[in-house]
């Protein structure tokens, strides 16, 4: 059994109160005594029982990562993975443990946010995958517990949001295609009501308009962000459109780009020779396709790192709740043909 505070106290010849004070960096401890206590604690391999600690003090410093919709989403949870990488990188560098919990819209109804935090002794949480109408959004706003949401805008006194400028990023991506001579662009659209879809649509619209192009309903393929739907949608598109009605496919996600490329290939077209395709997200997998996909990297790993950092600072009172807009990066790879260049 692990050593308790009592063991340390006995070994150091003081009372548990003093040990507690020494270990919690209280100022009113004789530095000689403190040193002895620290040494003894070290020797005994003593580590405070966090449960007892927070049961007694009524608060903890535990940070949790709360993932919603993990089980429902696509098979390849590249997004969550990258996010976790960033978060645990921070945890690793700062020597803290971060527990991860998986929830979904159903479990949110069964167990309230406060309940979850209470049961697991969570001082502050990083939340990802929350839909705008999820129960936890309201709960977050009402809570006094510091938290950071990623890619979901929730307002509240203790809530930080880490996002990126989706509108601008998608605008840039669209402009990238236009700059390379593409004027007949098909938009492969994500889930209709999703916030991200709408923002990206605005970005595309901005770029189209600025360049004197019009975005017609006819040249939009709707999906729910699923690869198979992109495959089907592109197939359907060419059944009602001539081959020269498009030169490029502007996809709202990398998975949609993968599906689009798959469909184009199966129709006997080459990418990017016959059609150009761009994705959005910056998933690792977009690097393993043929051709490698030109995309906007959301820097999701960095988002994770910064979210953890921010929450850590909030819990330690060195940064207030805030909205953090992280930069994105246009990653130029192999899936776009420059139509302005002379074709030899």
Partner DNA sequence: CTGAAAGCGCTAACAC
Partner DNA sequence: GTGTTAGCGCTTTCAG
Q: Is 25 in the site for DNA (CB under 7 A)?
A: no
Binds 84, which of DNA, a copy of itself, none (CB < 5 to 8 A, cut-off by type)? a copy of itself
- 1 vs 342, beta carbon nearer DNA: 1
- Piece in contact with DNA (CB under 7 A), picked from 27-35, 137-145, 206-214, 323-331: 27-35
Binds 316, which of DNA, a copy of itself, none (CB < 5 to 8 A, cut-off by type)? none
Integer CA distances (angstroms), 93 to 47, 186, 314, in order: 20, 44, 18
Q: Is 21 in the site for DNA (CB under 7 A)?
A: yes
- 28 vs 110, beta carbon nearer a copy of itself: 110
Integer CA distances (angstroms), 219 to 14, 132, 183, 222, in order: 78, 28, 12, 10
Q: Minimum Å distance from CB 312 to a copy of itself? A: 16
Beta-strand pair 329-331/295-297: antiparallel
Q: Which two tokens stand for residue 122?
A: 């969570």
Answer for the pair 182, 172: CB distance below 8 angstroms, yes or no: no
Q: Minimum Å distance from CB 240 to a copy of itself? A: 26
Q: Which two tokens stand for residue 140?
A: 């977050």
Answer for the pair 224, 190: CB distance below 8 angstroms, yes or no: yes
Q: Is 17 in the site for DNA (CB under 7 A)?
A: yes
E-only strand ranges, the chain = 63-68, 98-103, 124-128, 147-150, 159-164, 185-189, 220-222, 248-251, 276-278, 295-297, 323-326, 329-331
Q: Is 315 in the site for DNA (CB under 7 A)?
A: no
Q: Minimum Å distance from CB 269 to a copy of itself? A: 13
Q: Minimum Å distance from CB 273 to a copy of itself? A: 15
- Piece in contact with DNA (CB under 7 A), picked from 20-28, 159-167, 214-222, 322-330: 20-28
Q: Minimum Å distance from CB 29 to DNA? A: 4
Q: Measure the CA–CA gap between 103 and 130, rounded to whole angstroms.
A: 10
Where do contacts with a copy of itself occur on this chain (CB under 8 A)? 2, 45, 47, 49-52, 54-55, 70-71, 75-78, 80-81, 84-85, 88-89, 91-92, 95, 97-102, 104, 107, 110-112, 114-116, 118-121, 227, 258, 262, 265, 284-285, 288-290
Q: Minimum Å distance from CB 71 to a copy of itself? A: 6
Answer for the pair 229, 74: CB distance below 8 angstroms, yes or no: no
Task: Count the site residues for DNA by CB under 7 A.
Answer: 30
In the window 34-93, what residues touch DNA (CB under 7 A)? 34, 46, 48-49, 52-53, 55-58
Q: Measure the CA–CA gap between 81 and 65, rounded to whole angstroms.
A: 12
User: ∠ at Cα 26 (22, 28), nearest 5°?
Assistant: 95
Instruction: Supply the DSSP string of 215-245, one letter for each residue.
Output: --GGGEEE-SS-HHHHHHHHHHHHHHS-GGG
Q: Minimum Å distance from CB 146 to DNA? A: 17
- 87 vs 246, beta carbon nearer a copy of itself: 87
E-only strand ranges, 118-178 = 124-128, 147-150, 159-164
- 196 vs 315, beta carbon nearer DNA: 315
Q: Minimum Å distance from CB 230 to a copy of itself? A: 12
| CB-CB neighbours of 269 under 10 Å | 16
- Piece in contact with DNA (CB under 7 A), picked from 9-17, 88-96, 206-214, 288-296: 9-17
Residues that bind DNA (CB under 7 A): 1, 4-6, 13-18, 20-21, 23-24, 28-34, 46, 48-49, 52-53, 55-58
């Amino acid at each position: 059994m692990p050593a308790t505070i009592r063991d340390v106290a006995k070994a150091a010849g003081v009372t548990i109160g003093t040990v507690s004070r020494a270990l919690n960096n209280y100022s009113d401890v004789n530095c000689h005594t403190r040193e002895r206590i620290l040494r003894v604690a070290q020797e005994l391999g003593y580590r405070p029982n966090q449960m007892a600690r927070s049961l007694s003090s009524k608060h903890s410093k535990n940070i949790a990562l709360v993932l919603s919709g993990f089980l429902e989403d696509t098979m390849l949870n590249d997004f969550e993975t990258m996010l976790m990488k960033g978060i645990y990188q921070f945890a690793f560098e700062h020597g803290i443990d971060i527990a991860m919990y998986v929830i979904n819209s159903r479990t949110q109804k069964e167990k309230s946010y406060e309940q979850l935090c209470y049961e697991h002794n969570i001082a502050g949480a990083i939340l990802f995958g929350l839909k705008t109408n999820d129960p936890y959004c309201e709960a977050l706003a009402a809570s006094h517990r510091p938290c950071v949401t990623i890619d979901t805008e929730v307002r509240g006194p203790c809530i930080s949001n880490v996002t990126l400028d989706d509108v601008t990023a998608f605008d840039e991506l669209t402009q990238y295609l236009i700059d390379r001579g593409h004027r007949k662009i098909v938009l492969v659209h994500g889930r209709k009501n999703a916030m991200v879809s709408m923002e990206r649509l605005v970005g595309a619209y901005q770029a189209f308009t600025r360049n004197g192009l019009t975005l017609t309903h006819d040249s939009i393929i709707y999906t729910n962000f699923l690869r198979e739907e992109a495959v089907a949608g592109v197939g359907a598109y060419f059944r009602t459109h001539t081959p020269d009605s498009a030169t490029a496919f502007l996809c709202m996600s990398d998975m949609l780009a993968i599906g689009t490329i798959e469909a184009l290939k199966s129709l006997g077209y080459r990418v990017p020779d016959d059609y150009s395709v761009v994705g959005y997200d910056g998933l690792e997998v977009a690097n393993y396709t043929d051709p490698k996909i030109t995309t906007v990297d959301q820097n999701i790993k960095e988002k994770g790192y910064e979210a953890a950092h921010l929450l850590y600072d909030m819990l330690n009172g060195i940064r207030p709740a805030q909205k953090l807009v992280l930069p994105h990066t246009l990653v130029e790879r192999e899936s776009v043909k420059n139509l302005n260049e002379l074709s030899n």
